[in-house]
Structure 1
Amino acid sequence: MFECFRGGAGEVLPRADYLADFNRVHKSGISLLAKIERGQTFKEQGSPSWDAFASGDWAGALRLIEEERDSVAAYFRDAAQRDLVFRRVRVVEFPVSPYLQWEMNVFRVRSELGEEIRVLDARKISDLEREAPVPEVIILGQAVMYAVIYDDELKGAGARRFTDPDQVSRTSREFEALYAMGEGFPEFFEREIAPLDPPTVCRPLTDDCWPLTADR
């Protein structure tokens, strides 16, 4: 699976060019936005909630997620009017990383408002990942797909762009296979995420870690 993403194939787009191309295709009348997420920790540029999480303010991070509910709802209302479906496969390793615990709370809101999310235990795809992890992929309709590129700090740095119709079609089928293997998001969240204590984060460039609390 996902053979076309190996070996650095695809047209490399810097972050600004990738975002511009993504937005152009996203507005072009596509019917499906499909995404696979595999990494267990990232740095989210431009997210106030992630900034609060990373600084140790867990209560603030959760509050800021809820404050974005109206804007997220507006996005999914617009998507529904355009007959655009947003599907996501989120691969999860255990124990759940602090980042994933934060992200799952973001997804809780998105799931409630219209995003179709399924969670896939990484152990179920160990046979598929003998040579390499499944890629971080975004598929926009039948037109284009991207393999997201991250820099050494785990920030989004751009993407590799693919437009070959056969590659897009094949990857879409492979996405659907993973999606079918996953578990519904609400069930996963209630069982694995909701009972967790606030996560622990580490200071950058040190080994010092501390639990996230409301007063940090």
Structure 2
Amino acid sequence: MSLNFLPRIEEIVRKAQYFDSSEAFISKFEPAWSSVRTRILKLETLDFYDEGDNQSLKAFLDGDIEKSKKLISQEKQGDAPIYQDLKKRWVEIIRCRPIAAPPNEYLKWEIENYKENIKLGERIFIANMIAVTEIFERYATRDFMVFDTRFGYIYDYDKNGRLLGGWYVEDVQELYQMSALFSFIQSNCVRFESVYSNGD
């Protein structure tokens, strides 16, 4: 089946406003977080991100899984007020990402993070990378977020997973294209809980 009907993220970024530092890009998110009304869509595409000096990741990579899990839980407590506020406003967060099998060590750590995110109210969907390779090689070539269909953000990472900046999207048609691409990817995913449980 041809997938040429899908929008391409690389075409959208050509017309979007670019912010050439992570600080400038992240600062553009504030109005979206404060005024979102219904849902937040978050697409992740990489199998590694630069997490800086994240202690839970360090513990995980050092083999101390229990310490890592405790630190992840503590870290998520800082995010709890954000999730609680969104829940009060009836806003849902939906996250999608491909996972190669078997997952690398970073993704194993990410999976533990997702278990905590679900407790906070996120809906998370994952896809077997083998089944969706064409989608991510040709269409969904970058991470992005869409808030309702009013604010869009496309991330610019280097090859080491370090955030360089990103594009701000406000054109309604392009926001609908990003949402449609996300929905198509979600239709090729399964619920995270159907693959991973707290005991895994």
| TM-score (norm: length of structure 2) | 0.85
In structure 2, give the amino acid aligned to 1:2.
Answer: P
1:160: which partner in 2?
167
Going from structure 1 to structure 2, the CA distance change for 1:86 and 1:7 (only over 3 Å counts) comes to: closer
User: RMSD of aligned C-alpha atoms?
Assistant: 2.3
Asked if the contact 2:44–2:96 (Cα under 8 Å) also holds between the matched residues in 1, the reply is: yes
| Alpha-carbon distance in structure 2 between the residues aligned to 1:163 and 1:146 | 9
85, 88, 93: which one aligns with 1:86: 93
Moved more, 171-180 or 93-102: 171-180
Aligned residues: 193
In structure 2, give the amino acid aligned to 1:163.
Answer: E
Asked if the contact 2:45–2:136 (Cα under 8 Å) also holds between the matched residues in 1, the reply is: no
1:11: which partner in 2?
17
Q: Which runs of 5+ in 1 are unaligned?
A: 196-216
2:133: which partner in 1?
126
Deviation string 1:16-70 (CA, Å, 9 cap, x unpaired) is 1111111222112332110111111111136432243355543322110122343
Going from structure 1 to structure 2, the CA distance change for 1:73 and 1:98 (only over 3 Å counts) comes to: same
| Alpha-carbon distance in structure 1 between the residues aligned to 2:169 and 2:41 | 14
2:3: which partner in 1?
none
- 1:76 shift after superposition: 1.7
| Alpha-carbon distance in structure 2 between the residues aligned to 1:151 and 1:69 | 26
Secondary structure in 1 matching 2:18:
strand
Going from structure 1 to structure 2, the CA distance change for 1:194 and 1:6 (only over 3 Å counts) comes to: farther
Secondary structure in 2 matching 1:189:
coil
Going from structure 1 to structure 2, the CA distance change for 1:131 and 1:170 (only over 3 Å counts) comes to: closer
1:42: which partner in 2?
49
Going from structure 1 to structure 2, the CA distance change for 1:8 and 1:168 (only over 3 Å counts) comes to: closer
Q: Which runs of 5+ in 2 are unaligned?
A: 1-5
- 1:179 shift after superposition: 1.2
Going from structure 1 to structure 2, the CA distance change for 1:133 and 1:78 (only over 3 Å counts) comes to: closer
2:34: which partner in 1?
27
Secondary structure in 2 matching 1:139:
strand
2:108: which partner in 1?
101
2:151: which partner in 1?
144
1:178: which partner in 2?
185
73, 77, 80: which one aligns with 1:66: 73
The structure having more radius of gyration, on CA atoms, is 1
